[in-house]
């Protein structure tokens, strides 16, 4: 069968042959056994409902084996034979170009070069799934192929509920992931209900089909590292950044360190993903001996090199060794998946990778003890370095949160706050999000590198023009992003689709998008798909990350993220998504995203202006109401630009009035 025929087939009438378990693929760890015997039967019933009764006797044994062996029913037999990657948009069988664009993005999320655990349909973060099983993937792609522009596909946590009548201006797809009743949103609830096949963890951009590989966070990490060094009044050159994690999102750290110009040491326990990053050129060297690492870093410091080094081993050992050898760390962080600490997001020191995986599945209570022991040791080692002048920040991965739950010494003297800031509190919030700058991204649906090169040039030209007239408050942001886009081609950031990301405010996003749409109308480039990371100005309510610099008490509310998705959906988004969970954990965050297809039409021009303005200024207005100085400035400027915008501004209260009580 051709690729198009396989897509249109959906769930096949005749079962394909069983597929061998490919040991060379980076697989998800075995999930702990959490279902009761009756719940296991329910999980099997839930899985078998995708198939005709004639297949049930064959599949029930197979699915029971998967559940017993891996803790989940992935339906490996249904994995397609064709190569998984983002094809040019015209190669998809589709009645709607918008639907074809979504098919392209789904396949990009599952590309072996992009996805962390491609056979388990997990894009990044250890559990960030596009779907829970391969039947869902096949059925979704079939629905998208059949969809017309007056239908909307409804996605319930990876399950395609079906096509419903709507209209041309409605989103083509509406995605929800993990939207639990609040009292059922603990980590074990995810384990249980995911094993039952009724919900999934969509991470941030995995379950919304908008992940573009590590490039998506390379830029944000570059900005963070640059501003981190600015904060301590140092240049990156010859200075050291120590962190950990080389998986999906965290894999961007060494590449960003190279772009910023510092020495980066990034520890990783998984040999497969470490080798992938070395092969991709995202790290320069791999070292597995601590003495060799010390010698190499010492040499790099003395020669003021720009270099990224992966240490194949546990980061706790690196922090301890560098303390013993008096290696000064300038910037320190951690980007292991501590939102998922008990199922592969964090590996405890003192165990091999294989020993940890075995304990995780077969003795989860002991594994949890080991993780918490390790977090205490981790924090103690960091504390020794910060006492010597290291600037440490939490990278929004729930490191400080989980360390505090483990009883580590990371609390401030008031017993309420952490002694170390979140990077959003110190860097990204006041310097970027409050002013409306966040991760705007696009994908060239033609698949042509030359289209990406042309869009880079268009974006750079637009930003340089805006910068000539922009106020001093955002000049640094403009300069950083112009520098970034000029170096984007040289830094070889494309993994998977022909995609790009930069930080832009509402004005920048709308003007860049309009310039793309005009270029498409002229035939200079093909279709472009717009999106953003959920880690943005408006998309995410996350009290320990995106909204950690909100100090009016509202950081634990989720009104902004919900309004963001609702507002995007009727202002022209091609698809919208809302998720429970993300980089800081299940039950800890609500985040929303969108995708928008530009086809060169007047309708697309109208939609982009309406939606992108709202998508950013919704968040600025909330940050302004929280009395954030940069956001007050930004929303006043937005009201001057758009007379139809009227936002409630805060009246500031003098401290002495409050203190006089």
For 370-421, the pLDDT digits (tens) are: 999 999 999 999 999 999 999 999 987 889 999 999 999 999 988 888 999 8
pLDDT tens column, 23-39: 989 899 899 899 999 99
pTM: 0.88
Phi/psi for 374 (5° steps) reads -65, -40
* Cβ count within 10 A of residue 622: 25
User: Residue 208: enclosing H or E segment and its boundaries?
Assistant: none
User: Residue 441: enclosing H or E segment and its boundaries?
Assistant: strand 438-444
Tokens describing residue 295: 């010698």
Strands 590-598 and 540-541: antiparallel
pLDDT at 415: 86
Q: By the 8 A CB rule, do 319 and 382 touch?
A: yes
Q: What residues does 151 pair with on adjacent strands?
A: 165
* Cβ count within 10 A of residue 43: 22
pLDDT tens column, 506-534: 999 999 999 999 999 999 999 999 999 98
3-state secondary structure of 457: helix
pLDDT at 215: 79
pLDDT greater at residue 538 or residue 247: 538
Average pLDDT over residues 321-347: 93
Tokens describing residue 288: 């597995």
CA distances from 506 to 37, 216, 458, 472, 477 (A): 53, 19, 17, 17, 13
- Say how many residues make up the chain: 661
For the annotated binding site, the residues are 125-126, 203, 268, 395, 583
DSSP state of 427: I
Phi/psi for 196 (5° steps) reads -70, -15
d(CA 163, CA 143): 7
Q: By the 8 A CB rule, do 442 and 411 touch?
A: no
Q: What residue spans in the chain does CATH classification 3.40.50.10730 cover? A: 214-410
* Residue 196: half-sphere exposure toward Cβ, Cα within 13 Å: 16
Q: By the 8 A CB rule, do 272 and 358 touch?
A: no
d(CA 573, CA 84): 26
pLDDT at 251: 78
Superfamily for domain range 214-410: Urocanase like domains (3.40.50.10730)
CA distances from 82 to 14, 137, 256, 298 (A): 17, 13, 33, 48
pLDDT tens column, 136-184: 999 999 999 999 999 999 999 999 999 999 999 999 999 999 999 999 9
Q: What angle (nearest 5°) sits at the alpha carbon of residue 244, between those of residues 242 and 245?
A: 150
Percent of the chain with pLDDT over 90: 83
pLDDT tens column, 593-631: 999 999 999 999 999 999 999 999 999 999 999 999 999
For the annotated binding site for NAD(+), the residues are 125-126, 203, 268, 395, 583
pLDDT at 493: 81
Match domain 429-656 to its CATH number in 3.40.718.10, 1.20.1560.10, 3.40.1770.10, 3.30.565.10: 3.40.1770.10
Q: What residue spans in the chain does CATH classification 3.40.1770.10 cover? A: 429-656
Contact residues for 394 (Cβ-Cβ < 8 A; gap 6+): 333, 334, 400, 418, 420, 421, 422, 423, 544
d(CA 113, CA 84): 9
pLDDT tens column, 261-314: 999 999 999 999 999 889 988 899 999 999 999 999 999 999 999 999 999 999
| Dihedral Cα 23, 27, 33, 35, nearest 10 deg | -120
Q: How confident is the model at residue 248 (pLDDT cuts 50, 70, 90)?
A: low
574 has a pLDDT exceeding 80: yes
Q: By the 8 A CB rule, do 11 and 139 touch?
A: yes
Q: How confident is the model at residue 135 (pLDDT cuts 50, 70, 90)?
A: very high
Q: By the 8 A CB rule, do 206 and 129 touch?
A: yes
Residue with tokens 């790099």: 300
């Amino acid at each position: 069968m051709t690729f198009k025929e396989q897509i249109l087939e959906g769930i096949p009438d005749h079962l394909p042959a069983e597929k061998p378990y490919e040991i060379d693929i980076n697989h998800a760890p075995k999930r702990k056994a959490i279902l009761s015997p009756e719940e296991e039967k329910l999980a099997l019933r839930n899985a078998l409902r995708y198939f005709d009764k004639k297949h049930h006797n064959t599949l029930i044994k197979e699915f029971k084996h998967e559940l017993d062996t891996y803790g989940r029913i992935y339906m490996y037999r249904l994995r397609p034979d064709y190569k998984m990657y983002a094809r040019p948009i015209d190669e998809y069988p589709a009645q709607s170009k918008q639907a074809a664009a979504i098919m392209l993005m789904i396949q990009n999320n599952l590309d072996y070069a992009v996805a962390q655990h491609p056979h388990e349909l997990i894009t990044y973060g250890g559990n960030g799934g596009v779907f829970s099983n391969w039947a869902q993937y096949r059925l979704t792609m079939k629905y998208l192929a059949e969809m017309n522009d007056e239908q909307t596909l409804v996605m319930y946590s990876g399950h395609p509920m079906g096509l419903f009548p709507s209209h041309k201006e409605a989103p083509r797809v509406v995605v929800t992931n993990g939207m639990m009743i609040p009292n059922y949103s603990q980590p074990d609830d995810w384990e249980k209900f995911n094993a039952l096949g009724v919900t999934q963890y969509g991470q941030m951009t995995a379950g919304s089909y908008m992940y573009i590989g590590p490039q998506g966070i390379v830029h944000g990490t570059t900005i963070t590292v640059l501003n981190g060094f600015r904060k301590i009044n140092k240049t990156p050159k010859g200075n050291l950044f120590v962190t950990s994690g080389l998986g999906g999102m965290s894999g961007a750290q060494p590449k960003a360190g190279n772009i910023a110009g510092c020495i980066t040491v990034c520890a990783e326990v998984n040999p497969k993903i470490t080798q992938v990053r070395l092969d991709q050129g995202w790290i320069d060297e791999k070292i597995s001996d601590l003495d060799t690492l010390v010698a190499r870093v010492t040499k790099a410091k003395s020669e003021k090199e720009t270099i990224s080094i992966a240490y194949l081993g546990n980061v706790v050992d690196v922090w301890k060794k560098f303390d013993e050898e008096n290696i000064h760390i300038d910037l320190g962080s951690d980007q292991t998946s501590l939102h998922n600490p008990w199922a592969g997001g964090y590996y405890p020191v003192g165990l091999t990778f294989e020993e940890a995986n075995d304990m995780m599945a077969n003795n989860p209570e002991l594994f949890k003890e080991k993780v918490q022991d390790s977090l205490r040791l981790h924090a103690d080692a960091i504390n020794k370095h910060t006492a010597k002048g290291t600037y440490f920040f939490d990278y929004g991965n729930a490191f400080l949160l989980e360390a505090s739950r483990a009883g580590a010494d990371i609390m401030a003297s008031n017993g309420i706050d952490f002694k170390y800031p979140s990077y959003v509190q110190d860097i990204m919030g006041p310097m970027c999000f409050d002013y409306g700058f966040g991760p705007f991204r696009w994908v060239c649906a033609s698949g042509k590198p030359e289209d990406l090169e042309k869009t880079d040039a268009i974006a750079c030209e637009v930003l340089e023009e805006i910068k000539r007239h922009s106020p001093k408050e955002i000049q640094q942001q403009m300069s950083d992003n112009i520098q970034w886009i000029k170096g984007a081609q040289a830094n070889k950031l494309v993994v998977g689709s022909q995609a790009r990301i930069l930080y832009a405010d509402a004005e920048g996003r709308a003007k860049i998008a309009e310039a793309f749409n005009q270029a498409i109308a002229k035939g200079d480039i093909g279709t472009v798909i717009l999106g953003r990371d959920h880690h943005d100005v408006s998309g995410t309510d996350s009290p320990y990350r995106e909204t950690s610099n909100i100090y009016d008490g509202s950081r634990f509310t989720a009104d902004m993220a919900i309004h963001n998705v609702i507002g995007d959906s009727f202002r022209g988004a091609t698809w919208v998504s809302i998720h429970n969970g993300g980089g800081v954990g299940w039950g800890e965050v609500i985040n929303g995203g969108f995708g928008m297809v530009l086809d060169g039409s007047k309708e697309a021009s109208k939609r982009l202006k309406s939606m992108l303005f709202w998508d950013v200024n919704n968040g600025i207005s909330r940050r302004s109401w929280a009395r954030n100085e940069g956001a007050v400035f930004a929303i006043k400027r937005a009201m001057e630009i758009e007379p139809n915008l009227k936002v409630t501004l805060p009246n500031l209260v003098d401290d002495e009035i409050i203190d006089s009580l």
